[in-house]
Amino acid sequence: MTFDKLEIIAPILKAIEAKGYTHPTPIQEKSIPILLRKRDLLGCAQTGTGKTAAFAIPILQHIYNDATPEKGRRKIKALVVTPTRELAIQIKDNFSEYGKYTGIVNTVIFGGVKQGAQTQALNRGVDVLIATPGRLLDLIGQGYISLRDIKYFVLDEADQMLDMGFIHDIRRIIDMLPKKRQSLFFSATMPSSIVSLAGKILGNPDKVTIKPEQTTAEKVGQSLYYVSKKAKPKLLVFLLKTEDTDSTLVFTRTKHGADKVVKGLQKAGIQAEAIHGNKSQNARQLALNNFKNGSTKVLVATDIAARGIDVSELSLVVNYDLPNIPETYVHRIGRTGRASASGNAISFCDTDEKPYLKDIQKLIKQDIEVVKEHPFLLDGVDSLVAEEEKPQRQRQRGRSSKSSKPSNSSRSSNSSRTSTSSTSSTSSKSSKSGSNDWRRGNSTSRRRPQKKSE
């Protein structure tokens, strides 16, 4: 399925293309047709699934198609309410990008900052307003905003809204909306409180459920290298030189980061190319073709650029930077281990990235095995590993004595740096002789016990 099959109008298609999207994500594929028919939608999906485009594209299309000359300043036709400032900004950016050839104007309002710039934007007139609940009610109260002309309403991350205590604000906002409107309601979970809130907002909605991709994480061998930001380039070169991989996809968080990694690799004599949003479509295609036909062994990519990359013989994924959205980790490692192949993924983690690691492990319900002996081990890694292992130890104490847990002696050996890459604590082979040890699939990762609620 490609975007042009979804009956999206040309100015929006052009913007999607410019973003480098080739294929709709599952939630987009399911929701866009429903929303273009002006049906209400109850979406069970979380951030990272592409849900923003799933609702932004149809709303932009409706506003574009509805357009009649307006007297005076623009009226607000679409309202998106979301719990946090970060999400609000992200959604605003998405509307700006997908709508850049439509002439549709949007703005974002949120609390915790002075209101001057926000009220000025509102006074100039907007078609789409993205807001957090408190500031929205505040500016409605001050007379800067009227919800009278809203035709499209989105309540985003509803469960988070309730967790944050916004229920009364939400109710007040809903009471102010015109009865005749299209409503969209998104939540990652659907407890009864959410279902009852959805019932108040939606008519007879179509439902779309997208589960986070989890299964791939179970097929792929994963390992974790604690390393400082500064030493990451050296560790990457070391791994690519010592391990025998045919094709490696390296992920960085930023475009600039991708270029830097490529430069470092080239300096070390490793042929590598980057693909990201700042490269022309032609340059990206060329790099991808080189990677697919094997003339480039290492491709360095940002997440957006890597979407839709389908390389069948990918042997290794390297998370040079850990993603801040845990689902992205699953997307990334899902690039290897396709079909029946057992792929491998290694992740670099510096101290700042520990919270991301925590979120990832929670999502995949696995503890990624830490590679405790490598030449670029992060200072103070012992305490990080100990912290990492604490819950494991507690769990293991409660279970049987049969354990794959590293012995105390192997743990204490971490404090001394070593020039071998005996990667798994359960392995004593050196990198060259046992070059595939870290790629030994699932034995390197331990399943987390399921939470009761899951």
Supply the minimum distance, in Å, between the C-beta of residue 98 and ligand AMP: 10
**Residue 183 in the binding site for ligand AMP (CB under 6 A):** no
8, 15, 24, 99: residue in contact with ligand AMP (rule CB under 6 A): 24
Tell me if 361 sits within 8 A of 353, measured CB to CB. Answer: no
Q: What is the bridge-based pairing of β-strands 152-155 and 106-109?
A: unpaired
**Residue 75 in the binding site for ligand AMP (CB under 6 A):** no
Supply the minimum distance, in Å, between the C-beta of residue 25 and ligand AMP: 5
Q: Which residue shows structure tokens 């035709």?
A: 151
Supply the minimum distance, in Å, between the C-beta of residue 51 and ligand AMP: 5
**Residue 50 in the binding site for ligand AMP (CB under 6 A):** yes
**Residue 25 in the binding site for ligand AMP (CB under 6 A):** yes
**Residue 21 in the binding site for ligand AMP (CB under 6 A):** yes
Smallest Cα–Cα separation from 109: which of 101, 119, 100?
A: 119
Give the x/- contact pattern for ligand AMP in 30-49, rule: CB under 6 A.
-----------------xxx
**Residue 108 in the binding site for ligand AMP (CB under 6 A):** no
The sign of the CA dihedral 117, 162, 355, 93 is: negative
30, 51, 62, 77: residue in contact with ligand AMP (rule CB under 6 A): 51
Buried b (16+ CB within 10 A) or exposed e, 384-419: bbeebbeeeeeebeeeeeeeebbeeebbeebeeeee
**Residue 160 in the binding site for ligand AMP (CB under 6 A):** no
Residues with Cβ within 8 Å of 197's Cβ and at least 6 positions away in sequence, in order, are 158, 162, 167, 170, 185
**348 — alpha (psi -120 to 50), left (phi > 0) or beta?**
beta
Distance CA 154, CA 35 (A): 12
**Residue 304 in the binding site for ligand AMP (CB under 6 A):** yes
Distance CA 322, CA 241 (A): 22
**Residue 53 in the binding site for ligand AMP (CB under 6 A):** yes
Supply the minimum distance, in Å, between the C-beta of residue 253 and ligand AMP: 11
Which of the ranges 22-30, 64-72, 377-385, 432-440 carries the binding residues for ligand AMP, by CB under 6 A? 22-30
The amino acid at residue 129 is: L
Which of the ranges 19-27, 152-160, 364-372, 410-418 carries the binding residues for ligand AMP, by CB under 6 A? 19-27
Applying CB under 6 A, the residues found at the interface with ligand AMP are: 21, 23-25, 28, 47-53, 304, 307
